[in-house]
Amino acid sequence: MDIQRLLPFRKKAPRVAILRLQGAIGMSRPGSPGLSDAGLAPLITRAFSKGKPTAVALLINSPGGSPVQSALIAGRIRRLAEEKNIPVHAFVEDVAASGGYWLACAADDIWTDPTSVVGSIGVISSGFGLDQFIDKHGIERRVHTAGGSKSFMDPFREQKPEDIARLTKLLDDIHLSFKDHVTARRGDKLATDRDLFTGDIWTGRQALAENTGLIDGIAHAVPKLKELYGDKVQFTVHTQKKSLFRRFGAQLGSNLGAQVAGTVLDAAQERALWARYGL
Helices (H), the chain: 3-6, 37-49, 67-84, 99-104, 131-136, 161-186, 204-209, 221-229, 244-248, 256-275
User: What distance in Å separates the CA atoms of residue 192 and residue 212, rounded to the nearest whole number?
Assistant: 9
DSSP string, 132-160: HHHHHTTPPP----SSTTTTTT-TTS---
Sign of CA dihedral 258, 259, 260, 263: positive
Active site residue 149: no
User: What distance in Å separates the CA atoms of residue 23 and residue 95, rounded to the nearest whole number?
Assistant: 10
User: What distance in Å separates the CA atoms of residue 103 and residue 81, rounded to the nearest whole number?
Assistant: 14
User: What distance in Å separates the CA atoms of residue 78 and residue 111, rounded to the nearest whole number?
Assistant: 18
Identify the DSSP state of 80: H
The single residue of 50, 84, 150, 242 carrying the catalytic annotation is 150
Which of these, 32, 179, 173, lies nearest to 102 by C-alpha position?
A: 179
Active site residue 151: no
User: What distance in Å separates the CA atoms of residue 214 and residue 259, rounded to the nearest whole number?
Assistant: 39
User: What distance in Å separates the CA atoms of residue 44 and residue 20, rounded to the nearest whole number?
Assistant: 10
The single residue of 98, 116, 120, 224 carrying the catalytic annotation is 98
In the chain, what is the greatest distance between 2 CA atoms, to the nearest angstrom?
Answer: 83
Q: Which residues are catalytic?
A: 98, 150
